[in-house]
Amino acid sequence: MKYKNNSLIAIIIFCSFFTVVSCGNDDDDDTTDSGNTDDGTTGIAVDSSFFLTADGAVTVTLVPCTLSNGTTTDCYQIVSKSTPSDHEMGPWCPDNISDSAEEGGIWLENGEVYDVDGAFIEGMAEFYGDTKWKLYDDNGDIYTTDTEEDCGNAANPNVGVEYENYCVECLPSYVADIEQTYLIPATPIKLSTTTTLGGDERGIAFNGVRFEGPAPVDAILGAYTLAPFDDAGGHINLAVGYHYHAATGVTTEIAQDDGHAPMIGYAKDGHGIYALLDENGEEPTDLDSCRGHTDDIRGYHYHVAAAGSNSFIDCLSGAYVE
């Protein structure tokens, strides 16, 4: 991969990509009502057999826990290496502006999903209407961060102009030893109030990889850097490992017999998370502010936002482990 210079690269990419400054910060959560009381609805119990535990990258254990509304109950403790067993991670940055979509990942912009191929990199000045964009040299080789040290310096808030115009990626080898632990209620409890989520996780896929809050796209682009996601909507953070910012249909899905959208994971409150579209390509029309609704088969559950929105769900309707 091509480098602009031999300086230590420090890219100003905030929490969701590389650091833990605001990712996973529960202080960003806020309830709409301090009462936060149970509304009397008990949801469909979590099915722990849906998690992909065969290769040992994910373990699931039932443990006691206390939820945000004070309820003492049982939770599933999910310990994950954040290494998906159902798909490959990457690629993210192509090497040259002649590369095809297979050599790069995707980018999410204004509700749309774009292939980060060589042509996309070459056309960024036109795409963003700013001639300052140029992530490649005269040979068409793309400037790309290439070491763990580069990623470790990515939170520097005083990045100078010499660090602009890089394609930023962290590699799975950098986070091979990371292990994350999640707790979700074994049986969800719907509340009469909702919890607005900050920058932390929304839930977890069946492969043990977390559904993260929105990536800080404005901060990324403001530094004239591009931090692509792979085709599964994921990239790597040195603090939390591999994680998703969009649901693209690559991860394991549980099909529904009635044509409803497939299930893709669980929210941190234990309610099921489902894809956006049903088998007819239609999305629900009755979602609440958290992107949830209720039916007789699945009880209360969520539907993710469109992949291009850089989002999953907008808030939680149930009690969760703080």
What ranges do the domains of the chain cover?
1-322
What pLDDT is stored for residue 216 in this prediction? 81
The single-letter code of the amino acid at 285 is: T
**Under 8 Å between Cβ of 313 and 202:** yes
* pLDDT < 70: residue spans in the chain: 1-40, 152-163
What pLDDT is stored for residue 37 in this prediction? 53
**Under 8 Å between Cβ of 188 and 38:** no
CA 151, 154, 160, 166 dihedral sign is: positive
3-state helix, strand, coil in the chain (%, to 5): 10, 30, 60
CA 79, 85, 86, 92 dihedral sign is: positive
| The pTM of the whole model exceeds 0.95 | no
**Under 8 Å between Cβ of 208 and 301:** no
Distance CA 259, CA 287 (A): 18
User: For the chain, how big is the Rg over CA atoms in Å?
Assistant: 20
